[in-house]
Structures are given as C-alpha cells and as structure tokens.
C-alpha cells in the first residue's frame, strides 16, 4: 500500500537537491525510480527524523550538566523509561540492549508524531518503513540469541523438547517467528496511516478547529503504538536469550 499521495515541501526540497544523485545511484544499481520524484515522501521524512534525533543528541551531549536543565531532564526521563522497561522484561542483562531499543523507540515515536505537524508526514504511515523497523528487531533478537548461546545451542530450541517432534515443531517455530514481522509492521502502519489519512481529509474539508480532537487522539495513539512496538521488541529479545539464562541458573543450582 502506497503512502498518502500529497506534495510535501521538504520532500520536494530533497528531490530538488538530491534527486539527480538518487537517480544516478538507482541507475547504477539497476533500481527503477520515479524521474519526477525519485525520493518519495517517506524516505525524505525518515531522513529528517534521523537527522533531527542525531542533531538533538549531539546538542544535548555537549551540554550535559550535573544539575540538569529542562531538556536534559526530559532526555533522562526517556532513557530511564526505556531502561526500566528492559530491566522489567529482560532483567539486569537488559541494559546492554538499551542503545538499539532506545534508538528504534525514539525513531518510531518521532516518526509517528511528526505527521501531526502541518507540512510534514509520518514515515511510519508507509509500510516500507514499518517493515524495516520490524526486520531490524527480527534480525537483532536472533543475533542476540546466537551471541548469548552460540548458533548451535540457539537453533536447538527450534527443534522442540522432543527430537521426534522436530518435523512438526520446526515449521511452526519458523512461521511463528516470521509472523512477528507481519504483526509488528502491520499494526504500526495501520494505525499511523489511518490517523494521517483522517487528519488529512479533515484538514482538506475544514482546516480550523475540527481536526484538533483527532490530532489529540492521534497523539495518544502514536505514543501507545510506540510503547507496544518497544514492549514486544523487549519480549522477543528476552525470549531469545532466556534459554541461556535458564541454562546458567540450572548449572548454578
């Protein structure tokens, strides 16, 4: 399903500045791009969100103080939230996953919220972006499980408790894990796409005041959808490394 087809100033600016380079790279790689708008809205918006997060991080890093100001307090609250979630779901080992979970969570939250600003669009209202986020977590939690346990020990858990059941359990496990990509991406995309579509229609019909209640609802939904995505990501990572922790505890007893 394609993104909302409306012109965005910043996307037009990206295409004016970087469009020729994008077309050249696309031709070099054999990728067919739209000659009029080689950089679609969701790509331009995702770059803006990433640049915004990097810029804020760099700005605040150079202004870190022992007695925090308002901006530093907000950032510390966000970091504490992600870290607390990881500790609750995974345990003490959860701290090592804070950079990935925090970065992805902030990217999704900012992507959800930026679409509420007139003249912008949510990158997460495009399925390509939400699938990319889901694939990131899919690859990362399997990588974490393999890193913790070793590839043979990790793959052993896909065989089930009894070797005779392996022909049945393995396909079920594979389908179960790949369905997580669909679940994470479709849920986030559906909610944000629906919000952006309704707000866009309301603004086109009645530009003042009427869309405001929907925007407040979208604000709440954007936060909830970010929380759901991050929570499920923590659960998947915890499940991937849990077997190793149980194995270690059994040996210690």
Please tell me the distance from the alpha carbon of residue 48 to that of residue 181, in angstroms, as a whole number: 25
**pLDDT for 36 beyond 60:** yes
The string of DSSP codes covering 192-206 is HHHHHHHHHHHHHH-
Over residues 153-185, the pLDDT tens digits come to: 898 888 888 888 888 989 999 999 999 999 999
Q: Please list the alpha-helical segments (H only) found in 123-207.
A: 127-149, 151-156, 166-205
Please tell me the distance from the alpha carbon of residue 169 to that of residue 76, in angstroms, as a whole number: 43
Enumerate the domain spans of the chain. Answer: 9-252
123 with 133: CB under 8 angstroms?
A: no
Looking at per-residue pLDDT, the higher value among 153 and 201 belongs to: 153
Q: What is the pTM of this model?
A: 0.87
The mean pLDDT value for 207-216 works out to 68
Four-CA torsion 61, 81, 104, 229, nearest 10 degrees? -170
Most confident region among 11-20, 35-44, 67-76, 172-181 by mean pLDDT = 172-181
Please tell me the distance from the alpha carbon of residue 14 to that of residue 35, in angstroms, as a whole number: 13
């Amino acid at each position: 399903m394609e993104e909302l087809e409306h012109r965005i100033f910043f996307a037009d600016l990206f295409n004016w500045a970087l469009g020729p380079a994008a077309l050249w790279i696309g031709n070099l790689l054999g990728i067919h791009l739209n000659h009029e708008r080689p950089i679609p809205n969701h790509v331009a918006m995702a770059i803006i969100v990433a640049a915004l997060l990097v810029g804020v991080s760099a700005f605040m890093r150079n202004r870190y103080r022992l007695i925090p100001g308002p901006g530093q307090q907000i950032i510390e609250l966000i970091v504490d939230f992600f870290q607390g979630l990881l500790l609750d779901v995974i345990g003490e080992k959860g701290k090592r996953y804070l950079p990935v979970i925090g970065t992805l969570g902030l990217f999704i939250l900012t992507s959800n919220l930026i679409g509420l600003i007139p003249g912008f669009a949510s990158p997460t209202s495009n399925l390509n972006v939400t699938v990319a986020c889901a694939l990131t977590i899919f690859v990362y939690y399997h990588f974490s499980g393999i890193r913790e346990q070793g590839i043979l020990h990790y793959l052993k858990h896909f065989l089930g408790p009894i070797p005779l059941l392996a022909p049945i359990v393995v396909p079920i496990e594979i389908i179960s894990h790949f369905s997580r990509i669909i679940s994470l991406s479709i849920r986030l995309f559906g909610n944000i796409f629906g919000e952006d579509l309704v707000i866009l229609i309301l603004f086109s019909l009645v530009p003042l005041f009427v869309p405001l209640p929907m925007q407040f609802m979208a604000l709440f939904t954007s936060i909830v959808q970010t929380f759901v995505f991050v929570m499920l990501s923590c659960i998947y990572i915890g499940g991937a490394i849990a077997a190793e922790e149980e194995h270690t505890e059994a040996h210690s007893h």
